[in-house]
Structure 1
Amino acid sequence: MDPRTAAAPAPTAPPAPASPVRVNVPLLAVAGAVTVANLYFPQPLLAAVARGLDVSERTAGLIASAAQIGYALGILLLVPLADIVRLRRLTSVLLALTTAALLVAAAAPGVLTLTLATLALSTTTVLPQILTPVAAVLAGPGRQGRVVGLVGLGLTLGSTLSRTVSGAVTDASGSWRTAYLVAAAATAAVLCVLPRRLPERLGPPGRTSYAGLLAGLPGLLAAHRALRVSALLGACLFAAFSVFWAVLAFHLAAPPLGYGPGAAGLFGVLTLPAALLSASAGPLTDRYGPPRVSAAGLGLAGLGLAVAGLAPHSPVGLVVGANLLVVGVSSGQVAHQARIFAIGRAVAARVNTVFMLATFGGGAVGSLAGSWLYASHGWSAALLGAGTFVAVGGLVVVRSARRPVPSCVPDATREAGVIRPRIPQGES
């Protein structure tokens, strides 16, 4: 069987009926913000965790890597199910498991238990990557860029403000464990509201086995050059992003700055301008196309790292660098997802699975590389590592510009999950 079509419904299958559920963008954005926060709120706490559990900073850095690895596993193993199973049941189970894992982390007696609990909760907190294709499908033609951008804004706000909240909660309570309890309560609140507001299904009932879903993912990557380009760029950008945020708490805590977890968390509030500005990435992508917006995102991310590296002990310089990095990464992700959702509704969750798997795989590598580089050589070395990831992304952009991603032909293969590119004359 051709792996490109193994995970897709038969071409003769009837199209999915239109869902009677209207897209509730604010609810999806808030739910995405709360759940994605579970990945990022521990980052400002790493120095406090190292002190509280009596481990080295390098060992505490493994928690950030575990979060990215777990998220990548969840994207691979769980997000594809959204194409064929009942969404309400899937989201309820995932939210319940995430809440339980957060409670285990709050009570962790040692770093091993905390790392394993982080791995578990990040595996099940993949709801944002289910809500994004759901929003795009429900929005319909002509609104997908805008809706993806607004849901993406929620994710950006969740990832940035979660650091502020967790740092403030830790400073106020004197314990990093309180932040995990607050996160568990917020996730439980989403569980009580969100599932019943979703459509019963994203598409028709699946005829493919779970193994078939996973087996078809490489075929999607092989079939769609747009997906390959977006996956590479997403991995590079998020690797650079993760290097910065994984080591920022250590850098701020070290002399001559000497700040606590609250200062690291405050960067979430101070990067709000960048988070809000990233909402414009959707309309800009619709107007100018994904290639230009993703290239601009890489440029802004690289500029942000340069500013943070040139002014390592200036709070203003670090804030400016963080803002540039956030807006660059967020804008790039909106552009990349707009590119892949054009592939078709039948495989919306699965192409997002491939894209986000690459993105957070890059994030895991970035977190691990950043922790080791900082522990061995300091702040400048970590930022040079982040800049290397951005440079690789720049090479992908240049190569893509020389050979533009072909447009997709909206024929019967769309329902089969395979869009055959329109090949210009003379190109094979």
Structure 2
Amino acid sequence: MTTAVTRPYVKRGTIPVLATATAITVSNIYFTQPLLDEIARGFHISPSAAGLVATTGQMGYALGIIAIVPLADGVRLRRLSALLLGVTAAALLAGAFAPSLALLSMATLVLSATTVLPQVIMPTVVSMATPGHAGRVLGAVGTGLTLGALLSRTAAGLIAETAGTWRAGFAVAGVATGTLLLVLPRYMPADRPTRTRAPQSYLRLLASLPKLITEHAPLRLSAALGGTVFAAFSAFWSSLAFHLTAGPIALGPAKVGLFGLFSVPGALAARYSGRLTDHWGTRQVNALSLASVLLAFALFGLADQSLIVLAVGCNLLGYGTTSGQIANQARIFAAQPAIRARLNTVYMFAVFAGGAAGSAVAGVLFSAFGWTGVVVGGLGFLLLAGLALTWHTVHIHHRADGTAVADGAAMAAGAVR
């Protein structure tokens, strides 16, 4: 990261530190998924009962997005990051020693709610970038986010297999998160995002969220694109294991897990979409994102029995989804710093809701129509995304004053690009 990318007051190495912290903390949301079978055996319960751990994790993350991320607009980020890391590390270690499923689920609920630090880091890193480089720094941190999500499942499985117990996964995650407590706060801003204004009350911050939706058209566009594309992404990943373990492919669980590793090249390539966002604009990168994901689903449908084609499609899907997220967040973070965290709250909630909808729809379609139903459902979500982007583009071209401005300037002015 060159000095031209970040502002003069930013410490050297800040962007790599924030990217690493994002990868480690986001992994706390996903690493439990491959451990559920071991947890069920350890507590002598059914797999469906062990699924409560994954359910509480998702509930906790949603709660954290709504209840914690808005605080980043009004509190000292150095203190907030230290508090979140401390609570998350403690909850992870509590989970490692939990004597029952109920206590493990409670620990998972807490650690998932406080591991929303990546959604605090994203708007923070934009404030550190020099003009014209927001996409580049978002690309670097967004790559860490994607790699953490992809690799955490594989790492957790290896750790549990080596140690012979699922508890080792929680312990290692707790130590890693605790180590961040010694490093990350020093790279976060010491002051509040708005030093010239008195901090808003917590309730006022939460009450302002609905108003942001009605006042900021770029937020509505990003939320629509993020929710629909992530719905297609979740539809694929939530159904892939069923497709691969069924005949005629009939892979074992270990080989199915390798598809997370197969997606890494696409995630790494998506980093450069940040630079494309800076040079081309967010709308163009969104179009590239949709084209990549559309091609992925075309491959899933045309050659659904080919593992090589599925792996290629995984990379296209990962690249398109991550690229779209970078563009979407670059669009909303062009607003004034005082509201960026709350804008991200609304955006991420839309993405989260889209992912949940995609998984639910895919489950129904796979049961009724098999893999073909999942592919058609994913294409349906992408059609909605394409319509949203097309409507936005047509609206720009028909503006009476002809003063189409960059998405960033539109967001800052509260106008529509």
**One-letter amino acid of the counterpart of residue 217, structure 2:** R
Alignment of 1:148 onto 2:138:
yes
Structure 1 gaps of 5+ residues are: 1-17, 424-428
Alignment of 1:337 onto 2:329:
yes
Aligned residue in 1 for 2:4: none
**One-letter amino acid of the counterpart of residue 316, structure 2:** L
Structure 2 Cα separation of the partners of residues 376 and 61 of structure 1: 23
Aligned residue in 2 for 1:139: 129
Alignment of 1:420 onto 2:402:
no
SS in 1 for 2:415: coil
Aligned residue in 2 for 1:390: 382
1:203-259 CA-partner distances (Å, limit 9, x unpaired) = 326431111111111112211100100011111111222222233344444455454
**One-letter amino acid of the counterpart of residue 255, structure 2:** A
Structure 1 Cα separation of the partners of residues 257 and 135 of structure 2: 30
Structure 1 Cα separation of the partners of residues 164 and 359 of structure 2: 26
Q: Is the 8 A contact 2:217 2:414 kept in 1?
A: no
Aligned residue in 1 for 2:232: 240
Aligned residue in 2 for 1:166: 156
1:383-427 CA-partner distances (Å, limit 9, x unpaired) = 43333322221221121121139647999xx9xx9733279xxxx
Structure 2 Cα separation of the partners of residues 284 and 320 of structure 1: 22
1:4-38 CA-partner distances (Å, limit 9, x unpaired) = xxxxxxxxxxxxxx994437100000000101111
Q: Is the 8 A contact 1:37 1:162 kept in 2?
A: yes
Alignment of 1:22 onto 2:16:
no
191-200 or 272-281, larger mean C-alpha shift: 191-200
Counterpart selection for 1:192 from 182, 189, 213:
182
C-alpha distance 187-378 of structure 1, shift in aligned 2 (>3 A): farther
C-alpha distance 420-318 of structure 1, shift in aligned 2 (>3 A): closer
Counterpart selection for 2:194 from 195, 203, 209:
203
381-390 or 48-57, larger mean C-alpha shift: 48-57
Structure 2 gaps of 5+ residues are: 1-6, 398-403
Structure 2 length-normalised TM: 0.85
Alignment of 1:97 onto 2:87:
yes
Aligned residue in 2 for 1:6: none
Counterpart selection for 2:75 from 65, 85, 96:
85
1:136-166 CA-partner distances (Å, limit 9, x unpaired) = 1011312211111111111111111212212
Q: Spell out the pairing of 1:308-347 with structure 2 (5 A cutoff).
A: 308-347=300-339
C-alpha distance 177-317 of structure 1, shift in aligned 2 (>3 A): farther
C-alpha distance 180-301 of structure 1, shift in aligned 2 (>3 A): farther
1:102-135 CA-partner distances (Å, limit 9, x unpaired) = 3344455666555544333221111111111111
Structure 1 Cα separation of the partners of residues 302 and 313 of structure 2: 10
Q: CA shift at 1:333, angstroms?
A: 0.3
1:307-347 CA-partner distances (Å, limit 9, x unpaired) = 23444443222211211110010000001111111122221
Alignment of 1:264 onto 2:256:
yes
Q: Spell out the pairing of 1:68-79 with structure 2 (5 A cutoff).
A: 68-79=58-69
Which protein, 1 or 2, shows the higher relative CO under an 8 Å CA cutoff with sep ≥ 6?
Answer: 1
Q: Is the 8 A contact 2:361 2:377 kept in 1?
A: yes
Structure 1 Cα separation of the partners of residues 369 and 40 of structure 2: 19
Aligned residue in 2 for 1:67: 57
Q: CA shift at 1:196, angstroms?
A: 2.1
Q: Is the 8 A contact 1:168 1:261 kept in 2?
A: no
Q: Is the 8 A contact 2:64 2:112 kept in 1?
A: yes
C-alpha distance 410-287 of structure 1, shift in aligned 2 (>3 A): closer
Q: Is the 8 A contact 1:66 1:364 kept in 2?
A: no
Q: Is the 8 A contact 1:374 1:382 kept in 2?
A: yes
Counterpart selection for 1:212 from 204, 216, 223:
204
How many percent of aligned residue pairs carry the same amino acid?
A: 46
Aligned residue in 2 for 1:9: none
1:30-52 CA-partner distances (Å, limit 9, x unpaired) = 00010111122234445555666
Q: Is the 8 A contact 1:167 1:263 kept in 2?
A: no
Q: Is the 8 A contact 1:65 1:364 kept in 2?
A: no
C-alpha distance 297-109 of structure 1, shift in aligned 2 (>3 A): farther
Structure 2 Cα separation of the partners of residues 123 and 42 of structure 1: 15
SS in 2 for 1:404: helix
C-alpha distance 402-50 of structure 1, shift in aligned 2 (>3 A): farther
